[in-house]
Amino acid sequence: MKTLLPALARPLLEPHLPPGLDLHWFTTRAEAEAAIVDADIAWVDMQSPQDSAEVAALGARLRWLSTMRAGIDAYDTTLLRERGTVMTNGTGLNPVAVAEYALLGMLAAAKRYDEVVRMADRHDWPTVAPGTVELAGTSALIIGYGTIGRLIGNRLAAFGVAVTGVTRSGRDGTLTPDGWKPRIADYEWIILAAPSTGETAALLGAPEFAAMKRSAWVINMARGDMIDQPALIEALTEHQIAGAFLDTVDPEPLPADHPLWSAPNALHSMHLSGRSQTTMFTRAATLFLENLAAFMAGEPMRNVVDLEAGY
């Protein structure tokens, strides 16, 4: 069974791989492209999600495609479904790091720690704090109350924040996708933590920004395309909302001359949330080995993607 794997993971994988696999280790995109054409199994994560997806599309015989990324919006899921390829993703590999980053962003916004850092760089000693908001007593709407969303919610509850989640089903007292927009003015924090699908494109746009509290902050831990960015820039410029903490934007990387960089009260963290840890790659290798054993035994694997739903 031909198996294509990243050479970067070889020390973590090779000692634990079962015999009988036809192993191919890649270090470059060209090597991956050459080997995936007739591969049965492939883990082809590269620096760019788009590169990974384009290489994966060449795997006409793939029975199982593995990625350590949680989001699969770059992949041609229709093509994978037509080929009968099973895809597994990296949901659960970095939720703690992302949740902690969301909390970091909210605290930075509440206390305007970005301005505090700039004051320190200038050697200023102010007598008035730039940010005076307390998290306690505020309310947060978390759109996408899955693994990451719940972890964010649990942490915010400890800070005295009233949390409302949004799920497809409306389970456990959460709001449904058609139930949160009429209530958007109730919240100081609008947090995006949902998977990116066709239904989530431009989820927040001009009507939503106009309906928010002027004191509201948008916290995007999901995907950049969930926000109508021209509308966000206008809302920030016109001070319709207080600000935005953006771990993700569209496109990535954001061009140096993009106006979102300098939009008022836009705080950027350059999609570093999931990388702010040292164990994700090790966890990804462990997950791959567990799923490989299940795949070889014909048993259910973890993190199987619903290719029709897109997550």
Positions marked catalytic: 223, 252, 271
Cβ neighbours of residue 121 under 8 Å, at least 6 residues apart?
Answer: none
CA distances from 168 to 81, 146, 177, 194, 195 (A): 23, 10, 6, 10, 11
Number of helices (H), then strands (E), belonging to the chain: the values are: 10, 11
Q: Do 241 and 217 form a contact (C-beta atoms < 8 A)?
A: yes
Q: Do 88 and 305 form a contact (C-beta atoms < 8 A)?
A: yes
Half-sphere exposure of 152 (CA within 13 A, CB side): 37
Q: What are phi and psi of 42, to 5 degrees?
A: -150, 135
In 3D space, the residue among 43, 40, 44 whose CA is nearest the CA of residue 30 turns out to be 44
Supply the DSSP symbol for 255: P
Q: Do 13 and 5 form a contact (C-beta atoms < 8 A)?
A: yes
Cβ neighbours of residue 2 under 8 Å, at least 6 residues apart?
Answer: 21, 22, 24, 35, 38, 39, 40, 41
**Exposure string over 186-203, b if 16+ CB within 10 A, otherwise e:** ebbbbbbbbbbbeebeeb
Q: Work out the angle at residue 203's Cα, subtended by the Cα atoms of residues 200 and 209, and round it to the nearest 5 degrees.
A: 170
Half-sphere exposure of 273 (CA within 13 A, CB side): 31
